[in-house]
Amino acid sequence: MKTLTDTNFNFPGQKSIYKGKVREVYNINDDLMVMIASDRISAFDVVMPKGIPFKGQVLNQVASTFLKATANEVPNWLIATPDPCVAVGLKCEPYRIEMVVRGYLAGHAWREYKAGKRIICGVPMPDGMKENDRFPTPIITPATKADEGHDEDISREEILKQNIVSEVDYLLLEKYTRRLFELGTEMAREKGLILVDTKYEFGKRDGKVYLIDEIHTPDSSRYFYADGYQERQDKGAVQKQLSKEFVREWLMENGFQGKEGQKVPVMDEEFISLVTERYIELYEKITGSNFVKSSVEDINARVEKNVLAFLNDYKKENA
């Protein structure tokens, strides 16, 4: 199955390209950002050798669904989605932190908790909790945003001390983060899911704060199935979840956790197909829509054609 793992376009007005772990972002005239969701998959801040078919489409369409659904509550960057793998929006100056919010003790927070820590990012965690227990109140645990290597936990106090974000802006980021998590939690509940934890990124343009990048996707979020959640907790059973965590678990089982000297295990075709199925399952579950696979005959050519058509129309409309 063909995948989109790399692009190298030259669009009209293009100023630069930023290539992240999963997305490639094209700066158009310092005004627009063309964000292409590739089929690359990363875990432990390392990009895996093989792409996952339709992963980029899933990410882009899930994020677009939630950006459109929350736009009246929190301003965001999105203008259009001219291709299944592409979002175009306002170019903002990004804050150098990610706003991570956790409703349940899972993933990284659980690994820290299990190691004996009871404070994460300056936020206390109650004693006596089990993996995947619900926090009394969702906690915000920011992380520095690294271009390369690992993102690092950071406290609100340290963010303000280092002047990474002004206090006025940071309080707004917290307010937006809590509101988005409330909305995402409610939308997940309607579909029989629990939004366990997620992260948001923000930027600024003309003095206004915007939500940027993706939201509530399987790359940025963890979901549990609500049905049977409490029963599984009571029994100490593994939670049924929709997220990228199962990829991390597979990697750990195969001796990889992103640490120095460890070799990335190669995913076979069977496992790659399973990952695709999981991503599509999440899309259909969380959006309530059937997933329609886009043409993969020549993904790069399709993306380029659709973006060029959008930019041409945008130029005419804003001439």
Q: What are the pLDDT digits (tens) for 252-275?
A: 999 998 888 899 898 999 999 999
Say if strands 93-94 and 193-205 run parallel, antiparallel, or are unpaired. Answer: antiparallel
The pLDDT-based confidence of 244 (bands split at 50, 70, 90) is confident
Supply the angle between the helices 55-70 and 167-190 in degrees, to the nearest 10.
110
What number is the average pLDDT over the span 151-165? 94
Neighbours of 137 (CB within 10 A): 7
Judged against a pLDDT cut of 80, whether residue 147 lies above it is answered with: no
Query: Could you tell me if 92 and 311 are in contact, meaning their C-beta atoms sit under 8 angstroms apart?
Result: no
Angle at the Cα of 138 from the Cα atoms of 137 and 139, rounded to 5 degrees = 110
Neighbours of 139 (CB within 10 A): 18
**Amino acid 146: pLDDT:** 66
**Amino acid 1: pLDDT:** 72
* Cα–Cα distance, 149 to 45 (Å, whole number): 6
Angle at the Cα of 296 from the Cα atoms of 295 and 300, rounded to 5 degrees = 110
Question: Which pTM value belongs to this model?
Answer: 0.90
Alpha-carbon dihedral sign for residues 266, 270, 276, 277: negative
Angle at the Cα of 315 from the Cα atoms of 313 and 72, rounded to 5 degrees = 75
* Cα–Cα distance, 199 to 138 (Å, whole number): 12
Query: Could you tell me if 85 and 56 are in contact, meaning their C-beta atoms sit under 8 angstroms apart?
Result: yes
**Amino acid 45: pLDDT:** 82
Judged against a pLDDT cut of 70, whether residue 141 lies above it is answered with: yes
* Cα–Cα distance, 304 to 309 (Å, whole number): 9
The pLDDT-based confidence of 149 (bands split at 50, 70, 90) is low
Neighbours of 202 (CB within 10 A): 26
